[in-house]
Amino acid sequence: MVTPDWVTLRILLAAAELGSITRAAARCGIATSAAAKRLQALEAECGLPLIERGPRGVRLTEAGELLARHGHAAFGSLARLTDDLRALAAGGLGRVRLHATASCIAGHPLPEALAEFARARPGIRVELGEETSLRILQDLMQGRADLGIVTSEGPLPAGLEGHPWRHDRLLVVLPAGHPLAGAAPLRFDAVLDHPMIGAVESGALALLLEEQAQRRGRPLPYRFRVAGTDTSRRLVAAGHGLAIMPEGVARPYETALGLFCVPLAESWARRRLRLVARPAGLLPAPARLLAAHLLHDTEKERSPHTDAARAE
């Protein structure tokens, strides 16, 4: 049975990340020769090579990748154990690593929900990270995040569970005087006839638009592709093209920038946002508390009063 010790496992993960045994040894505070011997001993115990060594550094073999995945999970379990013990001993101390997409943070009341949680649980530190949906799922699988809020609709990786958190609507954002500014709602085919500004190429929205354009056998007519929605809105306001954005990151700037926001008339333009995590029994206590708080906040959002307001 292969039972790598924690030090050797940490060296292996560092070597995979850094591409160098020397740099991995320095990070782990151990001599390079000692780190190399530990890895060689682990390979002998496994009966398989774990690292391919080359002139440009090292990379994991298939067996090394398998061991690394289990290593990430093991360190994640150890971190959860530590957090659980701290929470148990101190009545609510610990941390939660929450990763969310930019539109979930800026376009929904997540900041307010986190502020409310901080007042209710001052001993729990929430570490908020902004990532794309795909990266968030990877972070959850590899133990770099405890909770994630994503916009992607696809099936989740094995071992993760999703819970409905919010919905959002995609809008076509237009400059003043644009030929489509008077139409509502707009079909995606009509949008594809005009130059577009794309934001966050690797995000779930960009992938969704690419998929829908491919189904129509048409390219996305990007004039510019930029990293964030701030730049995209400014380019639209200057008349360089139109953009498709979630309502929460478009409406607040409509008046200030002289934009026109028109609903996109497609069923897929209403997106479901999900809170994603490992099963509750595998989460540290602080993460379970934050997940419960966010999902309770969702239930308040679905109250009859809120539904009636939406119907109006």
Q: What is the pLDDT of residues 64-84, one digit of tens each?
A: 999 999 888 888 888 777 777
pLDDT band at 132 (very low <50, low <70, confident <90, very high): confident
Of residues 87 and 184, more confidently modeled = 184
Asked whether the domain spanning 168-270 has the same topology as the one spanning 92-166+271-311, the reply is yes
Mean pLDDT of the chain: 88
CATH superfamily of 168-270: Periplasmic binding protein-like II (3.40.190.10)
pTM comes to 0.67
pLDDT band at 107 (very low <50, low <70, confident <90, very high): confident
Write down the pLDDT at residue 65. 92
Give the domain 6-71 fold: Arc Repressor Mutant, subunit A (1.10.10)
Enter the tokens of residue 132: 């794309």
**Mean pLDDT value of segment 278-289:** 89
pLDDT band at 311 (very low <50, low <70, confident <90, very high): very low
pLDDT at 87 over 80: no
- Could you tell me which residues come within 8 angstroms of residue 82 by beta carbon, excluding any fewer than 6 positions away? none
pLDDT at 305 over 60: no
pLDDT band at 106 (very low <50, low <70, confident <90, very high): confident
**CATH class of the domain comprising 92-166+271-311:** alpha beta
pLDDT at 3 over 90: no
Domain boundaries, the chain: 6-71, 92-166+271-311, 168-270
Write down the pLDDT at residue 306. 39
- Could you tell me which residues come within 8 angstroms of residue 79 by beta carbon, excluding any fewer than 6 positions away? 143, 284
